[in-house]
Structure 1
């Protein structure tokens, strides 16, 4: 990707902030129309029979960029040279953009995520802190979510060698409040990353996206403690879907914070009792995941989907997720046309893309 003009950066940000435009739709629109500006211009005609998603005004995009610059943060667009290779090499499209605050060089180093319970035991926090320090001594960056408990301990352990905090809110959103000092130290010596606008306050809907970013930035995810229903297990599931390695620290069956990690082990996660286990898993990767996958381009020869095809595709959707390939077979039309129809339905709020090449009706 050549360096985009200021106008294209603003258009890119507006398109990324448009309702119903997730990573899959964004990637398709960019390939189909050649630029974010052209995709914005095409939105009204792509949603003829549904609600037209309204991009934020240009003034809002400019204000977001200026707010980030005042903080000393940097906006990275997917495809730019400094955008993390680990995200570009995901099988699914990467987030269209990320905001960063701190040492960008950390994004070029291999990373391991260490996550776990917010209400963590003293032993769990000590293990996370020690493992993070050991990972740092091996030249690995430690990524986590700056939450209470295991996350905070992992950041503390890796501060001296390199840590990345991934936030649900913007890079300036300090949560929990007691991590204000830790947030400041990471911004000064590590790196803070977020998909949200710089001063956005985190909401519940932001955390699945944050968890996906944590696992996407890492080669492997280590879960230290987790109850059966926890964000850490969501991160582990996303990691597996992204082709990342998942490790879990075994715990006592008497501690509910070990039920999630023990269940991960039953499902095939690797055991983590220390740095040697992590290094053994990483050695087994043998360079996997370093190439950017071919996602397929858009050819005008494929044709534009008409209303009949859109409705036929819509009729194949249900609340149960189905693979896009199955929708293509059921529609009986060329794959590029069916995928274009799915994107147009998503823009109108009538379809939603999920992980691992799935789609469903909202």
Structure 2
């Protein structure tokens, strides 16, 4: 049987895709369609013939999938459905219903749609991509891999919010956690780098992209994670506030006269680093600090303070920590963030070697000194490969 999987990550105005060998891990082609539904779309495809860049309208996700097929046909590799094992789809919210990947049928599609109330910005475009791809590849198995499923191992005391239990049950209010495919991949890879079975390893993983989350993993299982009912809770992010007193919302309604939608936009799109410093990209933050911008300096301090807070809390939950791992955008590329977020934790056995930590890390790198009690690592994430692997495992179980 083929081990090739086409992985599709469909956003509201974009489709990110990659063709992988789920066994060897080899990436055979990768691409990104952006500005779907706008007058001119931006398209990038990279395969055996090199990189292709186009600008043309992509009216919707159906047209986006058709464009992807055209790119494979014109620029390779040839995408023969007979050579594919499956199509893997990232889905953000699986709720309490999906504790693992699922082969997509009409019933699963309906369930993903129903769960859109918990992820209104994410599940609907995920579903648009699924439906378009199922029509394009009607004879292939399609597998949904949920961001939330890695965190299905959270204990009730971890995922339960202290609100009226009947209200919570009726409306599905609990902690779900996100970035599960990234945390799953990094968990497995960290165990390999330490030369141990995942079941024997306790790790704290900081996924620091524009959306950021941190997870405590005991023996390969998520036991604590910072994102909650939605991806808004937890760490300071590019445009999201992270943890905030819920009464701030009521205060803004009563005193500032802001509507629910206005507050939603404030906390999700105009807060975090953007709200504090006027920029969501860490490179811009560092440039501003170098120019003497005190707001940018404070923003960085708040960001790292919150991160350190979670590292310490998760250390307490785990009791023993074998590794602290940084991944994703700032985690892989920002040595200042890595250093500041762990400075002062030496009594916990957590140290960063300044020479090893220096610069961007494109490969797995140990940044703690020799003999450190806790290994500190940078592990570049590979969510697409994790989706491909989980898709293959799922169809094998279903066979």
Shared fold (TM-score, shorter chain, > 0.5): no
Richer in helix (by share) = 1
TM-score between both structures, scaled by the size of structure 1: 0.30
TM-score, length-normalised on structure 2? 0.28
| Greater relative contact order, per chain length (Cα 8 Å cut-off, separation 6+) | 1
Q: Greater strand share, 1 or 2?
A: 2
